[in-house]
Amino acid sequence: MMTETTTDRVGTGALARSVEPRSTNPTYTPSELMVCAAAREIKDSELVFVGMRLPLIAFVVAKKTHAPNAIGLFENGVIRSTPAPELIYTMADPPNILGATQCLDMLSVMILLQSGRVDLGFLGAAEVDRFGNLNSTQVKGPTGSVRLPGSGGACDIASLAHRFVVLIEHKKERLPEHVSFMTSPGFGEGNGWRKSVGLPRGGPSAVITTKAILRFPGEGEACLDSVHPGIELEDVLSNTGWKLRQSKDVQQTPAPSREELNAIREYDKEGFWTS
């Protein structure tokens, strides 16, 4: 187990939260670890497609720790130099409008992608494969194909940002060797593929899962970079849908710092996104 490694020393996660306020609990949840790992991907002064859920909180953490000058973009046209003053549940919530740097239309924000000004985008998907290609269109279910919501702005971000990071649950069915449908491109079939299809830049830089962090040396296939605290290497390998390569020096993912946890819990006080 990942988070509740420390929590379980004093009882179950649920019990620990019931007797100790979340804001002072020194342990952390898997989602909080993923948020911190995602926040560390944001560099100062970068223009970042933030999105919702965990990346939204990652933007908050980055702004309060190491990247105070990062700018957040939302697909609905909102641009923020500071996080929304309170937790939001959709990007159109009033707190996300209040104090925004700009409130534009979707096209105006997407133009920033096309002109090469967006440094980083965060994405999620139903599947991500060994070359970082994403599927959010359809998957095979027990009774046939299951239709999913589709790309939204993900294909634009994956195609045109300087790099993107994926957050996903670490399960073999969600990490297949090849996605069953390529909704948003990673490195396609490997080295040189993006250039061959006319994509001027970008590609996946990391896949942050509930068990590990994968990275992409050059434009090659995913490589195991670090394993989260409390997770065994074999657990990562056996729950990946291909023979996962390992970096020469696989590290342990750094646990959340006190500063990072405080930033998360001051913003997501009830753990709506991160519990």
Beta strands in the chain (DSSP E): 47-49, 71-73, 78-80, 102-103, 120-123, 127-128, 134-135, 138-141, 144-147, 163-168, 204-209, 212-215, 223-227, 245-252
Q: Could you report how far apart the first and last alpha carbons of the chain are, in Å?
A: 15
Phi, psi of 74 (to 5 degrees): -125, 145
Q: How many CA within 13 A on the CB side of residue 170?
A: 27
**Which residues are tagged catalytic?**
75
Phi, psi of 86 (to 5 degrees): -145, 165
